[in-house]
Amino acid sequence: MFRWSINRFCAGEEKRVGTRTVFVGHRPVSETDAYIEQKFCDNRIVSSKYTVWNFLPKNLFEQFRRIANFYFLIIFLVQVIVDTPTSPVTSGLPLFFVITVTAIKQGYEDWLRHRADNEVNKSSVFIVENAKQVKKDSEKIKVGDIVEVKADETFPCDLIFLASSNGDGTCYVMTASLDGESNFKTHYAVRDTAALRTDDDIDTLTATIECEQPQPDLYKFVGRINIYRSNQEPVARSLGPENLLLKGATLKNTKKIYGVAVYTGMETKMALNYQGKSQKRSVVEKSINAFLIVYLCILLSKATVCTTLKYIWQSNPFNDDPWYNQKTKKERETFKILSMFTDFLSFMVLFNFIIPVSMYVTVEMQKFLGSFFISWDQELYDEEIREGALVNTSDLNEELGQVEYVFTDKTGTLTENNMKFIECCIDGHKYKGGVSEVDGLSCTDGPLNYYGRAEKCREELFLRALCLCHTVQIKEGDTVDGLIVNPKPKCTYISSSPDEIALVEGAKKYGFTFLGLEGDYMKVQNQKNEIEKYQLLHVLNFDPVRRRMSVIVKTSTGRFLLFCKGADSSIFPRVPNDEIEQTKAHVERNAMDGYRTLCVAFKELTYEDYNKIDVQLCEAKMALQDREEKMARIFDDIESDMHLIGATAVEDRLQEHAAETIEALQAAGMKIWVLTGDKMETAKSTCYASRLFQTNTELLELTTRAMGDSERKEDRLHELLLEYHKKLLQDIPKYRANLKRSWTASQEYGLIIDGSTLSLMLNPSQDSSSSNYKSIFLQICLKCTAVLCCRMAPLQKAQIVRMVKNTKGNPVTLSVGDGANDVSMILEAHVGIGIKGKEGRQAARNSDCAVPKFRHLRKLLLVHGHLYYVRIAHLVQYFFYKNLCFILPQFLYQFFCGFSQQPLYDAAYLTMYNICFTSLPILAYSLLEQHINIETLTSDPRLYMKISNNAMLQWKPFLYWTFLGTFEGLVFFFGVYFLFENSSLEDNGKVFGNWMFGTIVFTILVFTVTLKLALDTRFWTWMNHFVIWGSLAFYVFFSFFWGGIIWPFLKQQRMYFVFAHVVMSVSAWLVIVLLISISLFPEILLIVFKNAKRKTHQEHPLSSCSLKLPAITAFLGMNKTKPFNLPMLLSYKPLENGYISEMKVEGAVNNLTQRYRLRLPQTQQL
Q: How confident is the model at residue 1102 (pLDDT cuts 50, 70, 90)?
A: very low
End-to-end CA distance of the chain: 83
**How confident is the model over 1124-1147, as a mean pLDDT?**
44
Q: Which of 112-126, 449-463, 553-567, 682-696 has the lowest mean pLDDT?
A: 449-463
739-797 residue pLDDT tens: 444 444 456 788 888 887 888 777 665 555 445 677 888 888 888 888 998 877 777 88
Residue 626: its pLDDT value, please? 76
The pairing of beta strand 831-835 with beta strand 146-150: unpaired
CA distance 622 to 1020: 69
**How confident is the model over 427-438, as a mean pLDDT?**
64
Pick from 486, 647, 487: which is nearest to 565 by CA?
647
Q: How confident is the model at residue 1165 (pLDDT cuts 50, 70, 90)?
A: very low
pLDDT value at 398 more than 70: yes
Q: What is the secondary structure of 908-958 as a DSSP string?
A: HHHHHIIIIISHHHHHHHHHH--SS-HHHHHH-GGGGGGGGGGGGGSHHHH
- Pairwise pLDDT comparison (586 vs 715), residue with the higher score: 586
Phi-psi map region of 835: left, alpha, beta (phi>0 left; psi -120 to 50 alpha): beta
Q: How confident is the model at residue 1078 (pLDDT cuts 50, 70, 90)?
A: very high
CA distance 838 to 382: 14
Q: Give the mean pLDDT of the chain.
A: 78
- Pairwise pLDDT comparison (217 vs 554), residue with the higher score: 554
pLDDT value at 245 more than 90: yes
pLDDT value at 484 more than 90: no
At position 495, the amino acid (one-letter code) is S
Bridge partners (DSSP) listed for residue 1144? none
With beta carbons less than 8 A apart as the criterion, state whether 434 and 421 touch. no
Residue 1022: its pLDDT value, please? 92
Q: How confident is the model at residue 601 (pLDDT cuts 50, 70, 90)?
A: very high
Q: How confident is the model at residue 485 (pLDDT cuts 50, 70, 90)?
A: very low
Bridge partners (DSSP) listed for residue 984? 991
The pairing of beta strand 405-408 with beta strand 671-675: parallel
Candidate list 409, 427, 754, 906, residue with the active-site label: 409
pLDDT value at 829 more than 80: yes
The pairing of beta strand 813-817 with beta strand 831-835: parallel
Residue 842: its pLDDT value, please? 66
Residue 328: its pLDDT value, please? 66
Exposure class string for 597-611: b at 16+ Cβ within 10 A, else e: bbbbbbbebeeeebe
Q: What is the DSSP letter of 153?
A: P
- Pairwise pLDDT comparison (78 vs 734), residue with the higher score: 78
Q: What is the DSSP letter of 396?
A: G
Distance of CA 767 to the CA centre of its chain: 40
**CB-based burial label for 335 (10 Å; 0-12, 13-18, 19+):** exposed
Highest mean pLDDT among 126-140, 165-179, 789-803: 126-140
CA distance 214 to 7: 18
C-alpha distances (whole Å) from 278 to each of 240, 273, 794, 848 are: 30, 13, 18, 11
pLDDT value at 332 more than 70: no
Distance of CA 976 to the CA centre of its chain: 52
499 is catalytic: no
Q: Is 497 helix (H, G, I), strand (E, B) or coil?
A: coil
Q: How confident is the model at residue 1150 (pLDDT cuts 50, 70, 90)?
A: low
Confidence (pTM)? 0.71
Highest mean pLDDT among 132-136, 707-711, 894-898: 132-136
pLDDT value at 278 more than 60: no
Tally of CB atoms within 10 A around 78: 18
Q: Which residues contact 1126 (CB under 8 A, 6 or more apart)?
A: 932, 936, 940, 943, 1104, 1105
CA distance 918 to 540: 67
Residue 561: its pLDDT value, please? 92
**How confident is the model over 559-563, as a mean pLDDT?**
92
Exposure class string for 790-806: b at 16+ Cβ within 10 A, else e: bbbbbebbbbbbebbbe
- Pairwise pLDDT comparison (442 vs 721), residue with the higher score: 721
Helix 994-1016 crosses helix 866-893 at what angle (to 10 degrees)? Answer: 160
Q: Which long-range contacts (CB under 8 A, 24 or more apart) does 856-859 make?
A: 856/379, 856/380, 856/382, 856/389, 857/406, 857/661, 857/665, 857/816, 857/833, 858/657, 858/660, 858/661, 858/664, 858/665, 858/938, 859/377, 859/379, 859/380, 859/938
Residue 330: its pLDDT value, please? 64
CA distance 642 to 629: 22
Highest mean pLDDT among 68-77, 304-313, 1049-1058: 304-313
Residue 324: its pLDDT value, please? 61
Residue 434: its pLDDT value, please? 54
Residue 1156: its pLDDT value, please? 43
Q: Which residues contact 34 (CB under 8 A, 6 or more apart)?
A: 1, 28
pLDDT cut 70: percent of the chain above it = 79
CA distance 1113 to 153: 50
Residue 126: its pLDDT value, please? 92
**How confident is the model over 546-569, as a mean pLDDT?**
89
Residue 13: its pLDDT value, please? 35
CA distance 15 to 56: 46
pLDDT value at 379 more than 90: no
**Count of CA atoms in the C-beta half-sphere (13 A) of 808:** 8
Q: Output the CA torsion sign for 560, 564, 569, 570.
A: negative
C-alpha distances (whole Å) from 447 to each of 443, 444, 589 are: 12, 8, 14
Residue 322: its pLDDT value, please? 63
Calculate the CA dihedral of residues 187, 192, 193, 197 and round it to 10 degrees: 100
**How confident is the model over 317-336, as a mean pLDDT?**
63
Q: Where are the alpha helices (DSSP H) in 980-1044?
A: 994-1016, 1022-1042
**CB-based burial label for 451 (10 Å; 0-12, 13-18, 19+):** middle
Residue 1143: its pLDDT value, please? 44
**How confident is the model over 558-562, as a mean pLDDT?**
91
**CB-based burial label for 108 (10 Å; 0-12, 13-18, 19+):** exposed
Residue 542: its pLDDT value, please? 78
Residue 1120: its pLDDT value, please? 39
The H-or-E segment that residue 561 falls in is: strand 560-566
C-alpha distances (whole Å) from 704 to each of 554, 701, 713, 752, 764 are: 39, 9, 9, 11, 15
Helix 866-893 crosses helix 919-928 at what angle (to 10 degrees)? Answer: 160
With beta carbons less than 8 A apart as the criterion, state whether 425 and 871 touch. no
Q: How confident is the model at residue 600 (pLDDT cuts 50, 70, 90)?
A: very high
**How confident is the model over 893-919, as a mean pLDDT?**
84
Pick from 280, 278, 180: which is nearest to 814 by CA?
280
Residue 1030: its pLDDT value, please? 93
Q: Where are the alpha helices (DSSP H) in 1043-1065?
A: 1058-1063
pLDDT value at 891 more than 60: yes
- Pairwise pLDDT comparison (194 vs 844), residue with the higher score: 194
Residue 1162: its pLDDT value, please? 37
CA distance 1009 to 883: 10
pLDDT value at 111 more than 80: yes
CA distance 971 to 973: 6
Pick from 894, 962, 1060: which is nearest to 307 by CA?
894
CA distance 672 to 391: 23
Q: Which long-range contacts (CB under 8 A, 24 or more apart) does 755-759 make?
A: 755/789, 755/790, 755/791, 755/792, 755/793, 755/796, 756/704, 756/791, 757/702, 757/703, 757/704, 757/707, 757/717, 758/789, 758/792, 758/796, 758/799, 758/800, 759/796
Query: SS3 string of 325-391?
Result: CCCCHHHHHCCHHHHHHHHHHHHHHHHHHHCCCHHHHHHHHHHHHHHHHHHHCHHHCECCCCECCEE
